């Protein structure tokens, strides 16, 4: 039986509202079988904090965010806040009945995580997956504090955080791989009652999260990271990835979703 073929997209850096709108547009249209199941790699410009779907906006200090020129967006998926900068972001969007994406949420997480894990191991990382029983109990406002089920860590520090949304027709999973920089920067825009709590949490987060550069002792480019992840996912999923382009329908739907949802203050700032 020949391997399945998925589309591979590598898109230009964009702001948070466009990135989230495009992720959802691809997944929706893939769910309608109007476009193939798709793996996308992308970056963020300007640096942007993304909130989980149900996370209180009060977790983030709006004045501190504006002072740094960072964006704010609410994801369609769950989880906690992430600062997207100096990273590779991946997304997988496809129909809910696709053989790779079909089944319980944790089964799909497991399949995709195995491919991400193989990719990181090709770089020489001693990366491991959290067990399926892992849960982020009493999580803080920051996503990278604790690995959840099948998320990936190196020497006890989380290196890929992922989130998934499943509907009757489609699945969207996306996640963040920090390439370099200070993984505690998000603490600068989080809300704390006292400044001593900010520093304590900065130290806590530094012990629990990491970057590719910190672990490998060398710079890893966006393109190098994308290449090894494609290779790992190809091996783990048995999928061939063919580079493609966005369709006019995807661009049109993404613009609509950007205007009506992800660029809408009522969505971003809802409690």
- DSSP for 165-202 reads EE-SSEEEEEEEEE-SS-TTGGGGGB--SSHHHHHHHH
For 190, phi and psi rounded to 5 degrees?
-85, 155
CATH of the domain at 133: 3.30.930.10
- Tell me if residue 143 is catalytic: yes
Which entry of 81, 143, 183, 186 is annotated as an active-site residue? Answer: 143
271 residues of the chain, pLDDT tens digit each: 567 999 999 999 999 999 999 999 999 999 999 999 999 999 999 999 999 999 999 999 999 999 999 999 999 999 999 999 999 999 999 999 999 999 999 999 999 999 999 999 999 999 998 776 544 444 554 544 444 567 899 999 999 999 999 999 999 999 999 999 999 999 999 999 899 999 999 999 999 999 999 999 999 999 999 999 999 999 999 999 999 999 999 999 999 999 999 999 999 988 6
Count how many domains the chain has. Answer: 1
Domain span including residue 32: 4-268
CA 237 to chain centre: 19
């Amino acid at each position: 039986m020949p391997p399945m073929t998925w589309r591979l997209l590598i898109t230009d850096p964009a702001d948070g509202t466009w990135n989230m709108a495009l992720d959802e547009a691809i997944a929706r249209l893939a769910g309608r079988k109007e476009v193939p199941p798709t793996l996308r790699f992308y970056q963020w410009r300007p640096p942007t904090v993304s909130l989980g779907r149900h996370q209180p906006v009060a977790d983030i200090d709006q004045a501190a965010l504006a002072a740094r020129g960072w964006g704010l967006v609410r994801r369609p998926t769950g989880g906690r806040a992430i600062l997207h900068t100096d990273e590779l972001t991946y997304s997988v969007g496809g129909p809910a009945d696709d053989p790779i994406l079909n089944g319980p949420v944790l089964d799909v997480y497991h399949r995709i995580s195995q491919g991400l894990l193989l990719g990181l191991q090709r770089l020489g990382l001693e990366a491991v997956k959290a067990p399926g029983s892992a849960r982020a109990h009493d999580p803080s406002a920051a996503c990278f504090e604790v690995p959840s089920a099948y998320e990936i860590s190196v020497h006890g520090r989380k290196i890929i955080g992922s989130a998934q949304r499943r509907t009757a027709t489609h699945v969207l999973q996306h996640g963040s791989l920090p390439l370099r920089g200070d993984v505690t920067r998000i603490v600068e825009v989080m809300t704390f009652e006292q400044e001593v709590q900010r520093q304590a949490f900065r130290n806590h987060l530094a012990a629990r999260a990491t970057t590719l550069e910190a672990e490998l002792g060398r710079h890893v480019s966006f393109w190098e990271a994308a290449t090894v992840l494609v290779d790992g996912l190809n091996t783990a999923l048995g999928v061939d990835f063919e580079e493609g382009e966005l369709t006019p329908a995807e661009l049109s739907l993404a613009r609509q979703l950007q205007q009506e949802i992800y660029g809408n203050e009522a969505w971003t700032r809802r409690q």
